[in-house]
Amino acid sequence: MDNGNISLERLILKLHDVHAVKFGTFKLKSGITSPIYFDLRVIVSYPSLMNEVSSLLFQRAKEAGLKFNNVCGVPYTALPLATIICAQNDLPMLIRRKEAKDYGTGRMIEGTIHPGETCLIVEDVVTSGSSVFETAQVLQKEGLKVTDAIVLMDREQGGGERLAKDGITLHSVISISKLLDVLLEAGRIDAEVAQSVRRFIQENSTFKPTKENGSPAAKKPCTSLSYEARAQLPGIHPMASRLLKLMEEKKSNLCVSADVTDSEELLEVAETLGPLICVLKTHVDILRNFTPDTTRRLSELADKHHFLIFEDRKFADIGNTVKHQYEGGIYQIASWSHIINAHAVPGSGVVKGLEAVGKPLDRGCLLIAEMSSQGSLATGPYTQAVVKMADEHSDFVFGFICGSKISGKPEFIHMTPGVNMQSEGDSLGQQYTSPEEVICTKGSDVIIVGRGILAAADRVKAAEAYKKAGWEAYLKRLSLTT
């Protein structure tokens, strides 16, 4: 088999096909309830899949430049994998028993042992790393060196860090992050399931580093990039970069939803809350006294207080129609709104029509992938289709309106509506989520707050509270341990 031609994505889909990876509610050995479960023992019934997995494991070892004299699989699932690797590559193999027999030699390691040689450990799944570590201890007692282990699936719950602390480097073929990305892209799972698993992994690390004095070590930065770092990514959309820089500069990830019906009130909101926000979301079609002067003055306030204007128009028609809606009519949205949004229902034509107008003006578009209203149909496969559409039109689309992080690409902005620190919802189906849950737990970037601020007795004080809560949640996200 030509290892260079093996598709990792294809392997992940095959593992899902044979139910080696399952989603649902599963009680783990530790007693914890997990939304994902790996049962790689089933692959022994699929010879071609066994060969493919074994080839990828050995390929991973070669890519890492590992030097070793023999191979040992962690019992039991990794034993057939180690057997195939050794048989196909003419390598000596050792077998570790889980318990010593009270007859025969009573040995814990079977095979020819040469003390001082280096043994490579093979494992199927690593969570805490304890099984690899136990195997390493048994091998070391026989005088063997253990410096590396290769694993098919790293659950990213601290096993690699724990093993590194004990002098063993873990080399994985598949990470749980990669697996979720592939299954989400293929439509095998929806964004809600993926986010549930990511949240579980993040909240259930098995490794807690300690200082030399035994006290807990300072938390490590997570793999999440800062707004500032993301703004510098090559190929990032100019509007995304501009927004991220503005957020970092103002230390605000707050977007106020100015759903008011009077033009003067809209301008008052922009004037008083402008210094506290990164984006002002408008609905000009509900203003009963709109004039072109309204948006002229609004643009001046945006320049004065350094915020972006987001007209929540929710374009949802064929390309030619939205093109005229965007650039013409009484509102002439393209002339003053930095950001617009659109439904993906009409297909890619809606983006192409908007892009024809907005791209020359350096505007940007958000696709509506999820909504905060109860009973919304924007879920599952639809959300996945939206993410795919954004990938295909990233020269104009720079992010999403969504309930949680739905794309692993840091170039995309995630903005979440329905944020309120007090209320549980309203009688019309609106559902609310707290700033910390949106930013820290669900991985979004911007909180969109409407009535939580506009209905407050003191709007400025309320906006200050939301700005503080949103930014603290962002800092907490950055400080979480991996």
Instruction: Copy the structure tokens of residue 388.
Output: 């795919």
Closest C-alpha to 414, from 426, 405, 423: 405
Spatial separation of the C-alpha atoms in residues 53 and 56, rounded to whole Å: 5
Spatial separation of the C-alpha atoms in residues 203 and 139, rounded to whole Å: 33
Q: What is the three-class DSSP state of 475?
A: helix
Question: Which entry of 317, 352, 468, 476 is annotated as an active-site residue?
Answer: 317
User: Please, which residues have CB within 8 angstroms of residue 446's CB and are 6 or more apart in sequence?
Assistant: 243, 247, 253, 254, 255, 278, 279, 413, 414, 415, 416
Contact 430, 424 (CB under 8 A): no
Counting other chains too, the contacts that 102-108 makes at CB distance below 8 Å and 24 or more residues apart are 108/138, 108/141, 108/142
* Phi (first) and psi of residue 125, to 5 degrees: -135, 140
Q: Which residue has the tokens 């954004």?
A: 390
| Active-site residue flag, 317 | yes
Spatial separation of the C-alpha atoms in residues 72 and 98, rounded to whole Å: 13
Instruction: Copy the structure tokens of residue 366.
Output: 């958000």
Helix H or strand E segment including 72: strand 70-73
The size of the chain, in residues, is 482
Contact 382, 345 (CB under 8 A): no
Q: What is the residue-wise DSSP string for 112-179?
A: ---TT-BEEEEEEEESSSHHHHHHHHHHHHTT-B--EEEEEEE--SSHHHHHHHTT-EEEEEEEHHHH
Closest C-alpha to 450, from 372, 337, 341, 333: 372
| Active-site residue flag, 391 | no
Count the neighbouring beta carbons within 10 Å of the beta carbon of residue 22. 12
Q: Rg for the chain (alpha carbons), in Å?
A: 27
Question: Which entry of 251, 314, 352, 409 is annotated as an active-site residue?
Answer: 314
Spatial separation of the C-alpha atoms in residues 194 and 205, rounded to whole Å: 17
What amino acid occupies position 319? G
Instruction: List residues with catalytic annotation.
Output: 314, 317
